[in-house]
Amino acid sequence: MLSLQQNRMNCPRCGSINYCKAGVLKGRQRYQCKDCVYHYTVEQKSDVKSREIRRLALEMYLEGLGFRSIGRILKISYGTVFQWVKSWGKNTELPERNGDVSIVELDEMHTYVSQKKLQMDMDYY
């Protein structure tokens, strides 16, 4: 029985499983089919996620989902999601506010004094 990796490396021209390594091109392993002498590389590593998956992960994060829940839904590691969000954050410039803030709205502010919880309903307009 053929393994999954051998299946991926079948010759794209004739479908043969008889191949040998034939050097490296742009950092990717090349293969040569022994039957039709065709040179080819493997399309894509199985663990590389597409741009659409990365974008979907960012959208889910911006909608308020956590790293672990995004990882479970997309079937990827939550550490990978964290790294993607972290790299997007480094490459993103946030808009700067130049003027003063004239309106502040606070809703249901909670604070603890000693052991008693105080709740203040403040609506400033």
Domains in the chain: ranges and CATH: 4-41 (no CATH), 51-90 (1.10.10)
| DSSP-H helix ranges across 1-114 | 4-8, 51-62, 67-74, 78-91
Claim: this prediction has a pTM higher than 0.85? no
pLDDT digits (tens, 9 = 90+) for 30-78: 999 999 999 998 766 556 678 889 899 999 999 999 999 999 999 889 9
Buried b (16+ CB within 10 A) or exposed e, 38-65: eebeeeeeeeeeeeeebeebeebbeeeb
Token duo for residue 49: 């996620």
More reliable by pLDDT, 4 or 55: 55
Q: Is a pLDDT exceeding 70 seen at residue 23? A: yes
Average pLDDT, integer, range 110-119: 62
How many CB atoms are closer than 10 A to CB 88?
Answer: 15
Comparing 29-33, 49-53, 85-89, 117-121, which segment has the lowest mean pLDDT? Answer: 117-121
116 Rama sector, left if φ>0, alpha if ψ -120 to 50, beta otherwise = beta
pLDDT for position 15: 87
